[in-house]
Amino acid sequence: MFRRTFIQKFLTVDTNRKSNANEAFTRLSVISVLNDITFDDFEKTFKPAIDGQTTCTILAQHDSIYVAGRYNKYSRTLSQTPWIIDGVRKADTSVEELIALPINKLVTSKCHVFLSSGREDVDVRTLGLGRPFVVEFRQPSRISYNPEEFLAIQREINMLTKDIRVRDLQQVTKEQSNQIKEGEEEKTKCYEALCYTDRQIDQAELDQILASVPNPLVIEQKTPIRVLHRRTLMTRQRSISDLVATVIDPYHFRLRLTTQAGAYVKEFVHGDFARTKPNLTMILDCFVDILELDVLAVNIDFPPMLDNQNDENNSLCDINEK
């Protein structure tokens, strides 16, 4: 509606008329005023709702894409993620970089996030079918890729280094990628450890002692000292099962075991100053420590296994021969 001050200023009303003065504000009278008014006079009466110009920016970008697979780690000096302490890089590369950077040459994203089903220590190998992982690539150049493109990237990764090997590389949906975290509590892992004892022990004694251990064995683990700087101090209950030991010599044996997710195998063996109870040191009644540790299997049904994989170099036998 026009303001009364504007109408009264530019519209002459016959006050001698007996009818209501508001009758002067008719459609025709208003049009008449608008035809005669200058733009400057109009602008003085009707101020713009917004002073000056308003600029709007519209940003269009692709949704994230998710690339999944499994990796083997054959090096005992390679960290899973970039190893940086106090701003100083401790290693030239990492599992994450060896996988994500070649993929990013295809998807050309702004950044990426690497997720895996658990993580191994720097000095631990991951063998068997490998550890499941997902890489989220944010703002990629496109969002759809064919399987052959990822197969080519997989081959490139496997040719560039002998420290890791990738299999089952594929694009998955965001919903599928969530499986890697949803299965965290239910999954189990199989390990093999080369152990040292401070007294002589033979196969018969080992078999007899381990046969008396409950299966599964429930342990109480306080947060290990070595990870206290990044883990909450608490006691966690975990299960250990299928303990099998094979003597190598009087002071060394190989131990195979299956653990619930979240169990710390090194601490189960040496006890971590009795912070893990029971532990193998208590069970064997002698000091026991791990010299080498390998992950043999991460038992989670993700990602789907692909038919175009060559497992020749992924087998445990081949790795042990190196």
- Which of the residues are catalytic? 121
Cα 166 → chain centroid: 17
Q: Are 303 and 70 in contact (CB under 8 A)?
A: yes
Residue type, 141: S
> What SS3 class is residue 86?
coil
Q: What is the DSSP string of 187-239?
A: -EEEEEEEEEESS---HHHHHHHHHTS-SSEEEEEEPPGGGTTTS---EEEEE
Residue given tokens 């619930």 in the structure block? 260
Alpha-helical runs (H) found in 115-196: 147-160, 174-177, 179-182
Ramachandran bin of 79, using left for φ above 0, alpha for ψ from -120 to 50, beta for the remaining angles: beta
270 burial level (CB within 10 Å; 0-12, 13-18, 19+): middle
> What is the distance between the terminal CA atoms of the chain, rounded to a whole angstrom?
88
Residue type, 73: K
216 preceded by cis ω (within 30°)?
Answer: yes
What is the Cα–Cα distance from 132 to 292, expressed in whole angstroms? 22
Residues β-bridged to residue 147:
none
